[in-house]
Structure 1
Amino acid sequence: MSDTIYSGGCLCGAIRFEATGPAEKPHTCSCRFCQQHTGAPTAAWVEFPTDRLKWTGPGAKPSTWRSSDYSSRAFCPACGSSIGAIDDEPVVALLIGGFDDPADPALAPQYHSFEDCRPGWLQVETASGEE
């Protein structure tokens, strides 16, 4: 059985990726870093080991900004699209909205991180049925 390849990229197409599954830890997050990185009250992420991700677009790898002791936020230098977070522990967390098929059931968030930072007016439901 072969692994699934998930593809996606930024708004302008300069940064493209192919991630070889399985998709790990799909989740939503409402921490302030995610809110400010995406401009949204909650971000939807999925993780892949670094060695299972290839940058395939003409822009090669995304630009990064060091956001914490263990992670850098990734974005397209041409159009500014948020791509994800590249962690030191060799993990890349990609924003689900950047995938070519964000509706793929394998990318459905299973849990919600930093729920205490979520605005009270926003309801977030995960595939596990938790809010």
Structure 2
Amino acid sequence: MRFRATGVPERPHTCSCAICRRHSGALTLTWVEFPAANVAWIGPGGRPATWRFSAFSSRACCRTCGTTIGAIDDEPIIALATGAFDKPQLKDLAPTAHSYVSRRPRWWHVAAEARGRRED
């Protein structure tokens, strides 16, 4: 899957809700949102496969391998998993909030923060 997202990402955040955990297979999924008009599906696979998971949104994944791509909302918003970006380390993709923090395991934390240093 290939996409081009233009403009400044909105609402960069992490989420630990049950749906995000199941969709990603991880304790937390990191997202950014773009207006749908700012996202173009440019790869040979075209648009991702989707499955409806709520009254207002569908999850998106690669049609070939099933990799998590994001969520396509009924509103004109597409939330993209930051791991799907070619350069996920870009500052604009850094989360500024965490949704469903109470749903993450109490032992979950970033290991480098726990040791008082940052790893790159």
Task: Give your verdict on TM over 0.5.
Answer: yes
Deviating 4+ runs (over 6 angstroms): none
Identity %: 55
Partner of residue 75, structure 1: 61
Across the aligned residues of Structure 1 and Structure 2, the Cα RMSD in angstroms comes to: 0.7
Separation of aligned partners in 1, 2:105 and 2:33: 24
Alignment correspondent of 1:61: 47
Q: Distance in 2 between matches of 1:24 and 1:102?
A: 15
2:20 alignment partner in structure 1: 34
Aligned equivalent of 2:37: 51
**1:72-126 superposed Cα distances (whole Å, 9 cap, x missing partner):** 00001101100000001110000001100000001000000010111111116xx
Structure 2: stretches of 5+ with no match in the other structure: 111-120
Alpha-carbon distance in structure 1 between the residues aligned to 2:8 and 2:49: 25
Q: Between Structure 1 and Structure 2, which shows a larger proportion of helix residues?
A: 2
Paired residue secondary structure (2:66): coil
Q: TM-score, normalised by structure 1?
A: 0.82
SS of aligned partner of 2:75:
coil
2:79 is the alignment partner of 1:93: yes
Gaps spanning 5+ residues in structure 1: where?
Answer: 1-14, 125-131
TM-score, with structure 2 as normaliser: 0.90
* Letter of the structure 2 residue corresponding to residue 20 of structure 1: T
